[in-house]
């Protein structure tokens, strides 16, 4: 009988619970023993393991966050930290480890793979910044959270004829800003992958108001600029009344969308199949609606690029 552990690591994202549930329930259906690791790699080093049965993962499918909790660990980046984790896994007789997390967590998973641990990755981050998957866990929910927030801002901005400058997450990836921007029909999107020019943006906003617009929305990905600074610059150049809003961690919460629940259920199911087939050292994702997998090396050798077609669509629709 195989013994499989699962953990969530790095910044949490909506749908992690649904992923854990799918991994655990599918594993149990195959007759595996399932273990949860608390607080990511930190719990792995501290031997913080719990046995998970079917009932332990009930009532979590629709909850944001992660009931196993998460952490970012500096110690795990060291050889000494990894040694502790590997010893604990061996002592517990764990055959395989499923890591649900983003880029940093995948680095940890890759290190364990290189040291002989059967490791698997599921892309858990709202940023959508993992290569070789069209989506990451929580990204769709975040788009909906941001889209709702923009609707609220639009109401009050219209009443006062203001420009709302909204900062969303995405340190190196503009996907949240771009895709929520298209979904919300905003006036400008500032993303780290493209240069922006404050004068052009200010002129465009001014001519919008001259045409009779009652409000404008500018989206800024955190990796492209700070809402407060961009709002100040727009005011300086256009004399329009601006208000900055930083959405912050509100974006990481909330019940996962049906898309995120389905996506994570499919990946959780698939990873257990891969464990059964002894295919290891891979991370899963979705490409063209198929659940696919690639080695950690392939993922780190691939470049995460913004969808230029979507960027063009945004520009044509503005
Ligand atoms: O990587 C996910 C993410 O949500 C980023 O978009 C954001 O910059 C970061 O995590 C915030 O991290 P923390 O929760 O540690 O403040």
- Where residue 70 sits, what CATH number does that domain have? 3.40.50.450
Residue 135: how many other CB atoms lie within 10 Å: 18
Please give the average per-residue pLDDT across 144-163, as a whole number: 98
124 alpha carbon, distance to own chain's centre: 5
Q: What is the pLDDT of residue 183?
A: 98
Asked if residue 89 and residue 132 are part of one domain, the reply reads yes
| Residue 65 and residue 209 share a domain | no
Q: Looking at the DSSP assignment, which residues form a beta bridge with residue 6?
A: 36, 98
Q: What gap in Å lies between CA 309 and CA 248, rounded to an integer? A: 27
Residue 281 lies in a domain: yes
Q: Are residues 25 and 170 in the same domain?
A: no
The residue whose C-alpha atom lies closest to atom 11 belonging to ligand 1 is 11
**What pLDDT sits at residue 215?**
97
Tell me how far the alpha carbon of residue 11 lies from the centroid of ligand 1, in angstroms. 5
Mean pLDDT, rounded, for 49-60: 98
Give the pLDDT band (50/70/90) at residue 53. Answer: very high
What average pLDDT is seen over the chain?
98
Quote the pLDDT of residue 201. 98
From residue 102, alpha-carbon distances to 34, 157, 258, 304 in Å are 22, 35, 21, 13
Same domain assignment for residues 226 and 248:
yes
User: What's the predicted TM-score (pTM) here?
Assistant: 0.97
Together in a domain, 134 and 262:
yes
Q: Are residues 25 and 106 in the same domain?
A: yes
Instruction: Please state the rounded mean pLDDT for residues 288-298.
Output: 98
- Which CATH number is 230's domain given? 3.40.50.460
Pocket flag, ligand 1, residue 169 (CB < 6 Å)? yes
- Contact (Cβ atoms closer than 8 angstroms) between residue 6 and residue 36: yes
Ligand 1 atom nearest the C-alpha of 129 is 1
Q: Which of 9, 40, 102, 169 to mutate to test the pocket of ligand 1 (most atoms within 8 A of CB)?
A: 169
Residues 248 and 260 grouped into a single domain: no
Please work out whether the CB of residue 104 comes within 6 Å of at least one atom of ligand 1: no
Other Cβ atoms closer than 10 A to 211: 7
- Specify the DSSP element, H or E, that contains 282: strand 282-287
Place of tokens 């955190």: 222
* Ligand 1, atom 10: closest residue by C-alpha: 11
Range of the domain at 126: 3-138+256-301
- Give 52's pLDDT tier (boundaries 50, 70, 90): very high
Q: Supply the pLDDT for residue 189.
A: 98
Check: CB of residue 233 under 8 Å from CB of residue 225. Answer: no
Taking only the tens place, the pLDDT of each residue in 56-100 is 999 999 999 999 999 999 999 999 999 999 999 999 999 999 999
- Model confidence at 197, in pLDDT bands (50, 70, 90)? very high
Catalytic residues, by residue number, are 127
217 and 106 part of one domain = no
How many domains would you assign to the chain? 2
Pocket test for ligand 1, best of 171, 174, 226, 304 (most atoms within 8 A of CB): 171
What confidence category does residue 218 fall into, taking pLDDT thresholds of 50, 70 and 90? very high
Averaged pLDDT, 221-230:
98
């Amino acid at each position: 009988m195989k013994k499989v552990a699962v953990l969530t690591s790095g910044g949490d994202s909506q749908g992690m619970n649904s992923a854990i549930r799918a991994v655990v329930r599918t594993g149990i259906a195959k007759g595996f023993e399932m273990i949860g690791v608390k607080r990511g790699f930190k719990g792995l080093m501290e031997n913080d393991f719990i046995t998970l049965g079917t009932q332990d993962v009930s009532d979590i499918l629709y909850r944001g966050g992660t009931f196993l909790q998460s952490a970012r660990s500096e110690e795990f980046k060291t050889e000494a930290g990894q040694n502790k984790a590997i010893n604990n896994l061996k002592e517990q007789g764990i055959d395989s480890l499923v890591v649900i997390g983003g880029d940093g967590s995948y680095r940890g998973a890759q290190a364990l793979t290189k040291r002989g641990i059967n490791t698997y990755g599921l892309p858990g981050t709202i940023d959508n910044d993992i290569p070789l998957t069209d989506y990451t866990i929580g990204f769709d929910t975040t788009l909906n959270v941001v889209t709702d927030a923009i609707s609220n801002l639009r109401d009050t901005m219209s009443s006062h004829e203001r420009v709302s400058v909204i900062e969303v997450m995405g340190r190196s990836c503009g996907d949240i800003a771009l895709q929520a921007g298209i979904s919300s029909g905003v006036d400008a999107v500032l993303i780290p992958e493209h240069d922006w020019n404050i004068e052009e943006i200010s002129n465009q906003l001014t001519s919008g108001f001259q045409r009779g617009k009652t409000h404008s929305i500018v989206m800024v990905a955190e990796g492209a600029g700070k809402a407060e600074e961009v709002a100040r610059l727009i005011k300086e150049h256009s004399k329009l009344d601006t208000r900055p809003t930083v959405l912050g961690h509100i974006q990481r919460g909330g019940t996962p969308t049906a898309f995120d629940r389905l996506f994570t259920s499919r990946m959780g199911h698939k990873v257990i199949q891969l464990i059964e087939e002894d295919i290891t050292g891979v991370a899963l994702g979705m490409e063209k609606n198929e659940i696919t997998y690639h080695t950690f090396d392939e993922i780190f050798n691939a470049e995460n690029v913004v969808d230029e077609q979507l960027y063009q669509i945004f520009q044509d629709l503005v």
